[in-house]
Amino acid sequence: MARIRSIKPNFARHEKLQELETSHCHLKPMLVFACLWTVCDREGRFEWRPKQLKLDILPFIEFDLSATLELLREHDFVRKYTAGGKVYGYIPTWLDHQCPNIKESASRIPDPPEHHASTVQARADSVNGTEPARGEKIKEVEKEKELNISATPVIVDLKTPEEYEQEQKREKEIIDAAFRHYCVATKRNSATYKLTPYRRKVGMSRLHDCLKLTKGDYDKAAALLCVAIDNLARSDWHMGRDPASRGKVYCDWIDHLFKSYERMEKWWNT
């Protein structure tokens, strides 16, 4: 069943999609990608059945939809997986494009291998500026597995206890500074939006990613965190300045910034 979806203004400026459109115009990848959103459920999943999908995606135009899906898969716009003997697909950047209504029916499609918990309620909480209700404990162990969080610092060589302690202190200072910078850049109220232990762990995980890229250079790693923060703060859509966003803000420290390495990397390339 096709669903009503939205298209953000910056979709028309997507360079990689337009490059694919130029080099594979006969497959119409950009238009197909947008039309594919309408057949996805609220988690961005769909059944990988090209003949059935063609009934809802440009049914009166002759082209090979199966080849288009494979092209989008090759460039990681969609991902393909098998569950229960059936083939499914999902859009890894789903929340970059859509804000599903929390009242939309839950997904009936099996979770993909790299499944994250449903993001619909999380996004609603972020938009409304609310935290989980008291007494509703977050299962941090499960979330840490989902977000690939590691509390262990990157150890390049053997260190003395003093060096290890100094390293941990330095990393803590970087995350503290990055969070202060984030609150200023996004105009978050630091009195109510605090650097909780869970947010610190997520930030620390991304710092370790940056340290791997910079070969242990703490200053450069800290700068990469700030680049991601600054580019998020410059996004009219995410900061609610774009009229199409209707004043809603999508700038959560975890969900929209540091949830994964790929999400942080996206802001470097924005």
> pLDDT digits over 88-108, tens only?
999 999 888 888 777 788 889
Q: Is residue 231 part of a domain?
A: yes
Q: Is residue 228 part of a domain?
A: yes
Query: Do residues 259 and 195 share a domain?
Result: yes
Query: Do residues 156 and 252 share a domain?
Result: yes
Give the pLDDT confidence score for residue 196 in this predicted structure: 94
Higher pLDDT, 236 or 123: 236
Q: Give the CA distances from residue 234 to residues 134, 172, 189, in Å, rounded to whole numbers and listed in that order.
A: 33, 26, 18
- Given a cut of 70, whether residue 112 has pLDDT beyond it is yes
Query: Do residues 34 and 78 share a domain?
Result: yes
Q: How confident is the model at residue 128 (pLDDT cuts 50, 70, 90)?
A: very low
In degrees, to the nearest 5, what angle opens at C-alpha 226 toward C-alphas 223 and 227?
85
User: pLDDT per residue over 149-199, tens digit each?
Assistant: 444 444 444 567 788 888 899 999 999 999 999 999 999 998 999 999 999
Q: What is the DSSP string of 19-37?
A: HHHHHTGGG-HHHHHHHHH
Q: Which of 126, 153, 127, 149 is nearest to 139 (CA)?
A: 149
Count how many domains the chain has.
2
Q: Is residue 216 part of a domain?
A: yes
Q: Is residue 122 part of a domain?
A: no
Query: Do residues 67 and 144 share a domain?
Result: no
Q: Which of 217, 183, 179, 185 is nearest to 201 (CA)?
A: 179
User: pLDDT per residue over 212-239, tens digit each?
Assistant: 999 999 999 999 999 999 999 999 989 9
Whether the model clears a pTM of 0.95, i.e. scores above it, the answer is no
User: Beta-carbon neighbour count of residue 102 at 10 Å?
Assistant: 13
Query: Do residues 68 and 178 share a domain?
Result: no
Q: What domain range includes position 20? A: 9-115
Query: Do residues 67 and 141 share a domain?
Result: no
- Given a cut of 70, whether residue 125 has pLDDT beyond it is no
